[in-house]
Chain A
Amino acid sequence: MKKKSICRWLPIIMPVLTLFMASLLACPQTGFAKEKLLTGEVIIFQAGSLTVPLAKMEKTFETKHPGVDIVREAAGSRKCARKISDLKKPCDIMASADFTVIDGMLIPEYANWNIRFATNRLVLCYTDKSRYANKINAGNWYKILTKKGVVWGHSDPNADPCGYRSVMVLQLAEKYYKKPGLYQKLINSRPKENIRPKSVELVALLQTGNMDYAWEYRSVAVQHELKFIELPDKINLGNYKYDNFYKQAVVTLTGKKPGITIKKKGKSCTYGVTLIKNAPNREAATAFLQYMLNPEGGLKILKEMGQPPFIPCRVPTAEMMAILPAGLQKLVEIKK
């Protein structure tokens, strides 16, 4: 009986079913047409200090574009550049804590342009349990650091811009506080063993009580909820108005081969980002940059995380502006 009844309804069921199936197939297609579907991996090589804000941007962006998978590799900015120039590792976007790394190591061979998108400044981080934690302040920090038993460190100047910037702050402090010999005294109180490849690693050393004080970017301190001492603008490398004062700090870094060195002059912390020339996923990468450099998107996240963004972002010349991907031009102004 039952079989028969189903058979009777078949002429009606079949077309309905077919229509339903067809609509199922068609629906997403009409959806595709509205917004271009981006897919695939976008590989970002990023400075360690950008990890937390970029992780948040990644999450938001991937919710908007479920087809895209943002793959980030954090390392010192110079190492990121090495991975592109020496190892030829595929990479779409490179975000550096020092925009001059992109200028110096990637342009013109591996990238064409360089957008400055945020600033940062150096602070001295510590925890409740650091020695003299209840005594340290913006006026006496350099006295505390040279006290016996205090363990402090910074990242490797040769591997991480935060490292040479920390050293620059110490040099500038000598000039600012007018205490000749202060720099050397500070350096002598910091054994080589307290140097780490990346500044972010020092956070773990602080939190586990292996270290009392560490030099970090302000953003890193905010993101890891560390206590920190804010230093005067003239020495914290955060205000480009003082670039002329910062210039007095000079750090010697390793050059292209062992034994050869280069001199790095003090300059305000300015973050740069670029799209790599042979980016495997240029389309999705450009879309991510569009989101990242948007005042309502990535830049807002940066601001929340203690890293003052440039609104709008900056490129140095009109020529560079002209070669930017179309979607990015409206987010950028020309400013030296």
Chain B
Amino acid sequence: MRSKETFFWITISCGIVIMAFILIPLVEMMTAPSFAMLKETIKDKDVVRSIWLSIYTAGLAAIISFIFGTPLAYLLARTDFTGKRFVESIIDLPIVIPHPVVGIAILSIAGRNHWIGQIFSDLGIRIMGSVTGIVVVLTFVGLPFYVNAVKNGFESISPRLENVSRSLGASMFSTFFRITFPLAWRSMLIGIIMCSARAISEFGAVVIVAYHPMIAPVMIYERFEAYGLKYSQPVAVWLVSICLILFLALRILTLHNKKEA
């Protein structure tokens, strides 16, 4: 083996800088609370409830993105039409809009002063301060991540495979479910991970739409306000640890299958 070039060492050192940049603050935060403190925190029903609420609202957002986002991603990957770029940039909009603005925007159509809010109100659906509201916000911010990941997935599958299926008489519907879907499910899983990861971390938009019921990031903020750093950190540690385990498990699942294939 040849001795390493300078370029190699540059890549290594930049990598180390980035790892340190991400890890040092996080490790500092994760190790700050004592073990007793962590134990006490997880016994707190409010904390458990908020973490659970965070996880399942983020999960719901991912499922909604999966249902509505998959066909759209397929459309964008397979067809070319005028205004496609425009549609793509609209999908990216939730990424660039400041989070509180997202919350304000959603609230402004959810109120009775707007006809959509009026319809919701008549149907008895409440957005402000409700789980429905949280899921709406999380879907809004998570959707682009799902659509983009899955679109890339579809693009990497050759359309020729689909053409073969169609030429052998399969309908578009059955082609999608028997050919494309089995090949693209991994990118969908990645999309779901990305979408729910984004959703679980959302704070700014949610706190405007729903302060109560409290998702974990809002509770971390509230604890910080009411009791200070000491009591907000343990909640953060639990949230980060649980998410880490969840996402690691999902990644291992996908990686495992990749090797098999």
Contact = CB atoms under 8 A, between A and B. Distances in A.
Do A and B bind? Answer: yes
Interface residues of A, number: 30
A211 B226 contact: no
Q: Which of A129, A196, A201, A210 is the most central at the interface, judged by chain B CB atoms within 10 Å of its CB?
A: A210
Interface string B221-250: 011111111110000000000000000000
B41 to A, nearest CB: 9
Nearest to B214: A192
A259 to B, nearest CB: 9
Nearest to B221: A197
Contact of A197 (B112, B114, B225): B225
A159 B226 contact: yes
A258 B130 contact: no
Nearest to B104: A204
Chain B interface bracket (under 10, 10 to 19, 20 to 34, 35 or more): 20 to 34
Given A156-B211, A191-B129, A209 B113 contact: yes
Given A193-B128, A208-B108, A78 B228 contact: no
Interface stretch (A39-47, A52-60, A79-87, A263-271): A79-87
Contacts of A193: 128-130, 210-213
Contacts of B58: none
Given A86-B228, A159-B225, A196 B211 contact: yes
A257 B37 CA distance: 11
Contacts of B110: 208, 210
A195 interface: yes
Interface in A223-278: 254, 256-258
A195 B111 CA distance: 16
Contacts of A209: 111-114, 117
B211 A129 contact: no
A263 to B, nearest CB: 15
B213 to A, nearest CB: 7
A205 B128 contact: yes
Interface string A267-310: 00000000000000000000000000000000000000000000
Contacts of B128: 193, 205, 210-211
A194 B212 CA distance: 8
**Residue in A79, A192, A193 whose Cβ sees the most chain B Cβ within 10 Å:** A193
B224 A82 contact: yes
Nearest to A158: B226
A161 interface: no
Interface in B81-137: 104, 107-108, 110-114, 117, 127-130
B208 interface: yes
Interface in B9-61: 44
A257 B128 CA distance: 29
Given A156-B211, A193-B128, A86 B44 contact: no
A192 B117 CA distance: 21
B231 A197 contact: no
B129 A257 contact: no
A76 interface: yes
A195 B211 contact: yes
Contacts of B210: 193
Nearest to B232: A86
Contacts of A78: 225-226
A254 B226 contact: yes
B215 interface: no
Given A156-B211, A193-B130, A197-B207, A210 B112 contact: yes
A188 to B, nearest CB: 16
Contact of A208 (B111, B213, B228): B111
Contacts of A159: 222, 225-226
Contacts of A158: 222, 225-226
Nearest to B44: A258
Contacts of A254: 226-227
A191 B148 CA distance: 39
Q: Which 4 A-B pairs have the closest CB atoms?
A: A193-B129, A209-B111, A208-B111, A209-B113
Interface of B: 44, 104, 107-108, 110-114, 117, 127-130, 207-208, 210-213, 222-231
28 contacts: A76-B225, A82-B224, A86-B224, A86-B228, A129-B113, A156-B211, A159-B222, A192-B129, A193-B128, A193-B211, A196-B211, A197-B211, A201-B208, A204-B208, A205-B107, A207-B113, A208-B110, A208-B111, A208-B113, A210-B107, A210-B110, A210-B111, A210-B117, A254-B227, A256-B227, A256-B228, A257-B227, A257-B231
Interface of A: 76, 78-79, 82, 85-87, 129, 156, 158-159, 191-197, 201, 204-205, 207-211, 254, 256-258
